[in-house]
Structure 1
Amino acid sequence: MMTLHRHLKKIAKATLVGAAFAALATSANADTTLRGASMFDEQHAFTKTLMKFDELVGQYYSGDVTFDLRLNGELGVEKDYVTFLNQGVAIDYTILAPSNMARFAPSIPLMDMPFLFRDLDHWNAVLSSNVLAPLEKELSEKADIVIVGYAGGGTRNLISSEKISNMQELAGHKMRVMGAPIQAQVFNAIGAAPSAISYNEVYNAIQTGVVNGLENEAASIQNLKFYEVAPYLTKTAHSITVRPIVFSGKSYRKLPKDLQAAIMKAGKEAGNYGRELESREDAIKLKQMADAGQIMVSDFANREKLLEMVKPVQDNYAASLNATDLLTAIRNK
């Protein structure tokens, strides 16, 4: 089965080399096919970033390469992608939340820890540097997954079925968090009652009262229509997302050296593109949902108190990973 995106990339490549489209049918077996996956549709920032990655690899590589990018969760959810990448099957590249890679590389969620970044400038300074190199090394060695760039940029807030605007309303709030232990630890520290629930089960879990909400960025709230069951958004701004563009190490090592080089160059540039895109779109999407009456937005009173409450948890987590110096380097960037 050929996706629309794969078909378009073949046509684009044929144009670049000046070959007739008919010739592709006879040479298709000689192409290198890179298989990608996105949980979202073509309008989501992650998908746009992966499509930009495809475009740039094709630009920087002089050989024949085809991209088979499957959308809308056709190949599963992120925890499935992690397994596929580790095993070198089904997909070669995608964008992942660090927490979903924790079962292979326990330290990796540190790069996406709630309340880690002061603001967008601090976040961008970290991702534009080599500060996270120790985590990249651990992921490569323990999970056989290679980080080729950093996307992300969505500001994550609480979204719930009931209004939450202060510490009293937050107390005991049943909320979904990602699977890495640090996520639950942080939200426990501020008085909520977090549960790790599979992403594809969250909508029904809110609908049935298993949890009363989740934390997420605007693009995913809009794309997956979480506002239908959780229309109250609280501006905690507890995370600015770090979403690595990742490649299967097993797949990567099989590729020609010049294609490997093109992937690394394209990954960095696509990451820059994705960060700018998502950070710019985030406020726009929030306003779209608010203007449409899909969400009701409120500030969180005394947010500074939350920052004080979580710092000991962050420190203890970093110490448990022998990553105190890394956390200090991130904070000082």
Structure 2
Amino acid sequence: MKLTRTLTAALLASAALTGAAFAQQCETTLRSSDTHPEGYPTVVAVERMGEMVEERTDGRICIEVFHSAQLGEEKDTIEQTQFGVIDLNRVSMGPFNNIVEETQVVSLPYIFRSVEHMHNVMDGPIGDEILAAFEAHDLVGLAFYDGGSRSFYNSEKPIQSMEDLQGMKFRVMQSDIFVDMVSALGANATPMPYGEVYSSIQTGVIDGAENNWPSYDSSGHFEVAQYYTLDEHLIVPEVLVMAKSSWDSLSPEDQEIVRQAAKDSVPVMRELWAEREAESEQKVRDAGVEIIKDIDKTPFIEAMVPVYEKYVTSDKLKDLVERVQATE
């Protein structure tokens, strides 16, 4: 843990040299981490947020975005954000499942009926409740971004039914829910960092993974896993969080500016996301990827019963599931 903190601090210090001119014009520079590459919708959204914060504070506060996992993979950057070494962090919801229990509900397979349903839930009081839950873990939840619909892709064969999944090895995020979801479908789950997936598929360590159109494209995974099955098992939002210590260092007025800028960046991200999804889908189709769609999802959904029973155990979480499902 101490070594990881030291390495991250060293990376930050090194990167800060290249942005020295940028930082000199600001009284406070907030460093933000993202595993996605430059130009990705979440990266651009936080950059736009930074522009809004800088404008609304008359240049006193700036945000510098470190994309492409420059500061580490998600699990490590979560810890660094809790320690206050990293100020802001855009993270997938999955790695938070073992930290903030409320995030387990919105990470459940088939909990959302559609992207529109997910937006209605996360933009309302349920979303605010989940953001507030981060504070007990030295983090401040600021906003939710889209993560698209996640589907399975692999290098071996078209997956048209649950039977086709039996015994296959799939990478999942480091989340117990995702591991149990894949196991319930009869496949073998292999948690590993995002950056290791390409080579692991290429060398046969795993057969495939699961993700959305833009990630499938930007990672290059479609080059080594050319069967993509649109089972859409997960529609999981992503979250932008801030270190509690960094948040507490701001005045109440600046806290409100940062929070509002984060919320104002959401429609920017969603517009970019819709464009990126369409572009990525076309790109992988043009590359000759075999797309499997219109599968019968009923057996997949029925297989999730034990997953719900395992994770939705407390009255609080059961109530949260009921309220999510009741949201129009």
TM over 0.5: yes
Whether the 8 Å contact between 1:61 and 1:259 is mirrored in structure 2 is yes
- Residues 1:55 and 2:70 are matched in the alignment: no
Which digits, 9 at most, give the CA deviation of each residue in 1:52-103, with x for residues without a partner? Answer: 21122223324512222212221111112101110001x2112101221234
Q: Which moved more, 1:59-68 or 1:246-255?
A: 59-68
Residue of structure 1 in register with 2:4 after alignment:
none
From 141, 150, 158, the counterpart of 1:147 = 141
1:149-183 CA-to-partner distances (Å, cap 9, x unmatched) read 11114121111112212222112221011121111
1:35 positional shift: 0.6
1:285 and 1:53 mapped to 2: Cα distance? 24
Q: State the secondary structure of the residue aligned to 1:42.
A: coil
2:297 to 303, 311, 320: 303
Does structure 2 conserve the Cα–Cα contact (< 8 Å) formed by 1:5 and 1:67? no
Residue identity matched to 2:56: Y
Runs (5+) with no aligned partner, structure 2: 1-13
C-alpha distance in structure 2 between counterparts of 1:321 and 1:76, whole Å: 36
Question: 3-state DSSP class of the match of 1:82?
Answer: helix
Count, aligned residues: 313
Q: How far is 1:332 from its partner?
A: 0.8
Which is further off, 308-317 or 157-166?
308-317
Counting only pairs closer than 5 Å after superposition, residues 104-115 of structure 1 correspond to structure 2 as 104-115=99-110
TM-score w.r.t. structure 2 length? 0.88
User: Which residue number in structure 1 is paired with residue 82 of structure 2?
Assistant: 86
In the TM superposition, 1:317-332 aligns within 5 A as 317-320=311-314, 322-332=316-326
Aligned to 2:130, what secondary structure does the other structure show?
Answer: helix
- Per the alignment, residue 13 of structure 1 pairs with none
Contact map agreement 2:131 2:142 (CA 8 A) in 1? no
Sequence identity percentage: 26
The answer for the alignment partner of 2:42 in structure 1 is 46
Structure 1 residues 95, 282: CA separation in 2 closer, same or farther (over 3 Å shift)?
same
Question: Counterpart of 2:320 in structure 1: which amino acid?
Answer: L
Q: Give yes or no for contact 1:172–1:192 (8 Å, CA) kept in 2.
A: yes
Structure 2 residue aligned with 1:249: 244
Aligned partners of 1:148 and 1:244 also within 8 Å: yes
Indicate yes or no: 2:72 matched with 1:76: yes
Query: Counterpart of 1:272?
Result: 267
In the superposition, the TM-score normalised over structure 1's length comes to 0.86
CA RMSD of aligned residues (A): 2.3
Distance across 1 between alignment mates of 2:159 and 2:128: 37
Q: Could you tell me how far apart the structure 2 residues matched to 1:274 and 1:187 are?
A: 29
Q: Deviations over 1:111-149 (max 9, x none)?
A: 2222111012211101110113443333210x2111111
1:274-296 Cα offsets, whole Å, 9 max, x none, are: 13321442133112211132x22
User: What's 2:155 paired with?
Assistant: 161
Q: Give the CA deviation at 1:320.
A: 4.9
Question: Distance between the aligned counterparts of 1:42 and 1:201, measured in 2?
Answer: 19
Specify the alignment match of 1:99 in structure 2. 94
